Homo-oligomer: A and B are copies of this chain.
Amino acid sequence: MNEIDRAYPEGKPLTRPAVPAMDQILGRKFPMLDHGFIRVIDYMGDEGAIVQAARVSYGQGTEAKSSDRGLLRYLMSHHHSTPFEMCEIKLHVKLPIFVARQWIRHRTANVNEVSARYSVLSREFYTPAAEDLAPQSLTNKQGRAGGYSPEMAAVLQGLITDACNSSFNVYDAMTKEVDGPHAIYPLSRELGRIVLPLAAYTEWYWKIDAHNLMNFLRLRADPHAQWEIRVYAEKICQILQDWMPTVYEAFCDYVLNAKSFSAMELGLLSAYLAKPVNGPEHAGMTARELQAFKDKLGWA
């Protein structure tokens, strides 16, 4: 294919694409919550690799897109997801178990997690900061709303910390080696751990392609996601921005901050709207993007 041959002239030696902004943060621990972190261990591909994969698929068809930026935005807005699958990232994450349980539901990823059957976990658990504690929302069955007085927050923090410490006390007593006449332990680690709280920290390596990463971010950087996983998702959004700034911009425009209107809502919209003779400014959209907008509203 000409497109590919143009991208990869035969004689020219190939080097792996590198992203300086990523190379700079490689291995650096970004603290999360009270004891957690995220760090980038490795990555594969860059925005150029996505463009290239798209050009393999669509050949000359992609030339119409004036630029790489235009092509990336076109792919994003039209849900052409396979080129984004051509890039991969590997993170090392330390996170509370209750967050890990939500995270692992994203099945199209690779995971190597610390095993508490093999290793004794150290005494690290999550205690929400005072400002992150909130009562049960009355309108949102799965959420929190409002806040507590400093005194009340301190009481709740105390309850949580004491409960988790007590659990770890029992865990340690049962699983740690002891000397002396009463040295009847240790209980097997795989059993001892069952008293540990969901607030306990675990760690894993997590590897995922850029398309499925954005699926993860769409759901977990959403305001409906639990705050404790959202902080991780928001940090990963920044990492994605470092890795692929144009892709991240398109992701914000077309996914994160986009909204879907149902068939009925579209009907209402056309009823509310009449085609304006002199409309407002076009919000920085290209002619093509503007046309797509008009098409959605049924304007000629």
Contacts and interface: CB of A to CB of B under 8 A. Distances in A.
A195 B197 contact: yes
A143 B191 CA distance: 9
A8 B56 CA distance: 37
B134 A191 contact: yes
Interface string A6-17: 001010111111
Interface string A144-165: 1100100010011001101110
Contact of A167 (B14, B43, B167): B167
Interface string A243-258: 0000000001110011
A260 B263 contact: no
B42 A16 contact: yes
A20 B249 CA distance: 35
Given A44-B44, A191-B134, A191-B144, A268 B296 contact: no
Contacts of A276: 272
Contacts of A273: 272-273
A17 B4 contact: no
A170 to B, nearest CB: 4
A30 interface: no
Contacts of A193: 98, 198
A10 to B, nearest CB: 7
A241 interface: no
Contacts of A144: 188, 190-191
Interface in A260-300: 260-269, 271-273, 276, 279-285, 289, 293, 296
Interface in A82-111: 82-83, 85-86, 88, 90, 92, 96-98, 101, 104-105, 107-108, 110-111
A83 B115 CA distance: 13
Please give the count of copies of this chain that the complex contains.
4
Interface in A1-38: 1, 4, 8, 10, 12-18, 23, 26-29
A199 B41 CA distance: 33
Interface of A: 1, 4, 8, 10, 12-18, 23, 26-29, 39, 41-45, 49, 52-54, 56-61, 64, 77, 82-83, 85-86, 88, 90, 92, 96-98, 101, 104-105, 107-108, 110-115, 117-119, 126, 128, 133-137, 141-145, 148, 152, 155-156, 159-160, 162-164, 166-167, 170, 173-175, 184-191, 193-199, 203-205, 207, 209, 226, 252-254, 257-269, 271-273, 276, 279-285, 289, 293, 296
22 contacts: A13-B26, A14-B41, A17-B42, A54-B112, A56-B92, A58-B115, A59-B114, A82-B110, A86-B110, A104-B104, A115-B142, A118-B141, A167-B195, A197-B198, A257-B262, A258-B262, A258-B265, A259-B296, A262-B293, A268-B283, A269-B269, A271-B279
